[in-house]
Amino acid sequence: MSSKIVVVGGVAGGASAAAKARRTDEFAEITIYERGPYVSFANCGLPYYLGGTIEDRGELFLVSPERFKSRFNINVEVNHEVLSIQRNEKTIIVKNKETGIESEVPYDKLILAPGSFAARPNIEGVNGERIFTLWTIQDVDELKGFIEENKPQKAVVVGGGFVGLEAVEALLSLGLSVQLIEATSQILSPLDQEMTIPALNHLKNLGVDISLGSSVKGFSDRGNTVEVTLDNGRIIDADFIVLAVGSKPELDLPRDAGLTIGETGGVVVNERMETIDPHIYAAGDIVESLHLVTGKKVRIPLAGPANKQGRVAGANAAGGDMTFKGVIGTFIIKVCDFTLAKTGINEKEAGEGGFDYHVSYTHSPHHATYYPGAETMTIKLIFEKRCGRLLGAQAVGPQGIDKRIDVLATAIHGRMSVEDLEDLDLAYAPPYSSPKDPAIIGGFVSANIHRGEVNVITPKELAQAIAGGKEIQLIDVRTESEFRGGSIPGAKLIPIDLLRGRIEELDPSKPTVLYCRVAYRSYLAYKILQAHGFKELQNLSGGYMSWVMGTSE
């Protein structure tokens, strides 16, 4: 007798689970129940369809119910909502949303992958007709239809996370004036704040009005416009609003069924994606996972983990034996002509996790500078002082970010050290990289710190020292023209090429901090002064570029 496998939810986790279950057991009876009208669509592509980058709406649909049946022999029931789970009877109650008829469906194995939904804060006017979310096909259809019909000029995006920033880009590409409102002090909270500054500046240069540290108190419909009231008293008028303040997991089914919900707000599963009920699996946005760096439980609702979790759940539900080891939270986002990415943990998370760590900043061209079009990227590495193990990496810049963050993610997954990064053998040709790739440069600099070849100070630490009145001999080793273009308050200019002849101007007994544009010339100056008996030396990590990033408001 064939096994009966029921999957709740499609899109990433559920669709992957069903397809893997079929590949594992050709004879299982597999059915997907999807509450919405579409079983498998590219929700990450919605902003790009809105903005016109993806022109054909049909490209958003990955696999149709008909294809699931013909290729995988999987039954798909769209517009069917699973109302409850009877664990003792191993049945579910399903409602056909078109007819209203409810039915009881038995299962041998049940896979829960209902995903998440766009959050709507409990504030005045949040359900107004001119307030949109961007989470489902229906959402993008409504918003796109509104824009085409009403020809609006001004939009407000609430929320500076992934969806909010992608919505900003989409609306800019449509020629709209855009304002971005974010309740916290930065965009993209998984990144350290200073790493978001270049993207903020990029958006401002494109004309985006940005309000950080301001939350919305309410919305008021004014007929053809919406009035947005902020907690600081500011009032903004817009033709419509895109609400992008995060998502919430669909937990009603597992919670009502008595499955365990962890402290992270996700369903507790083991590495086989089994819940506390051996007949029920879960995957995707609703589950919590093990973070491979911190060893703690986290809930990271991203498409990559959801697909892999679904694959494991589907295999095991069909009699296989696979495991999902955990996550490191790798992500990347395009913000107009700028890219930001992260893998592993950020500096705040390193501190909260009790790690004793170092930080390094590097600024490198994404390919050989003599080949046209080289763009500077910034890489921040966080690594353990004791063993040099790479804990986290962030990379931002106009080009080449995807390649480097994936190299660094692989290094973190493999528990590699920054000294291992020095030894990587990466592809090089002038259009793509440099003989010393930015990821390897990050390894060089970090390994020098780890081995004690150079002591560094971060921009934040230097700013705190200056503010605290600490006596520091601060030396700028750039050129005079660079110095005139901007410098750190209190710095003395001694260009690197003149340093050996002017060492007598410096006091070797004083704490000395050196800096240049990106910390390379100041590293050379560090070695010179070290050879001349200077004891309390520090190089500013990432140089003046990192200082500007780290001290920008």
Q: What is the dihedral of CA 518, 519, 520, 521, to 10 degrees?
A: 100
Q: How far apart are CA 484 and CA 472, in angstroms?
A: 21
175-233 pLDDT, tens digit each: 999 999 999 999 999 999 999 999 999 999 999 999 999 999 999 999 899 999 999 99
Regarding whether 142 and 237 lie in a shared domain, the answer is: yes
Question: What pLDDT, on a 0 to 100 scale, did the predictor assign at position 62?
Answer: 82
Q: Are residues 85 and 147 in the same domain?
A: no
> Residue 553: what pLDDT?
53
Q: Are residues 476 and 388 in the same domain?
A: no
Which tens digits make up the pLDDT trace of 232-287?
A: 999 999 999 999 999 999 999 999 999 999 999 999 999 999 999 999 999 999 99
Using the predicted structure, report yes or no on whether residue 136 has a pLDDT greater than 80: yes
- Bridge partners (DSSP) of residue 77 are 33
Final residue of a domain: which of 186, 213, 245? 245
pLDDT tens by residue, 433-488: 999 999 999 999 999 999 999 999 999 999 999 999 999 999 999 999 999 999 99
Tell me the residue range of the domain where 199 lies: 131-245
271 shares a domain with 348: no
d(CA 491, CA 461) in angstroms, rounded, equals 16
The phi, psi pair for 3, rounded to 5°, reads: -75, 145
The CA distance from 65 to 312, in Å, is 22
Side chain identity at 126, as an amino acid letter? V
For the chain, the average pLDDT equals: 96
CATH number, domain containing residue 504: 3.40.250.10
**Per-residue DSSP letter, 252:** H
Looking at the 3D structure of the chain, how many domains does it have? Answer: 4
In a domain, 322, yes or no: no
pLDDT of residue 42: 86
pLDDT, residue 438, reads 98
Averaged pLDDT for residues 532-537 = 96
Distances (CA, A) of 39 to 67, 73, 207, 254, 535: 11, 15, 38, 20, 65
Instruction: Give the chain's length.
Output: 553
State how far the Cα of 65 lies from the Cα of 85, in Å rounded to an integer. 24
Query: How far is the C-alpha of 531 from the C-alpha of 536, rounded, in Å?
Result: 12
DSSP state of 517: S
Domain co-membership, 240 together with 166 = yes
Q: How far apart are CA 335 and CA 200, in angstroms?
A: 10
- Which pTM does this prediction carry? 0.95
Residues 31, 108: one domain?
yes
How high is the pLDDT of residue 550?
A: 84
The catalytic residue positions are 44
Task: Give the separation between CA 479 and CA 461, rounded to whole angstroms.
Answer: 24
Last residue of a domain, one of 245, 263, 283: 245
Can you tell me the mean pLDDT for 72-79?
A: 96
* Residue 232, domain CATH: 3.50.50.60
Which residues partner with 236 through β-bridges? 228
Confidence tier at 43 by pLDDT (50, 70, 90): confident
Q: Check if the beta carbon of residue 76 is closer than 8 Å to that of residue 69.
A: yes
Nearest to 405 by CA among 375, 427, 438: 438
Q: Which amino acid is at 463?
A: A
pLDDT tens digits along 295-311: 999 999 999 999 999 99
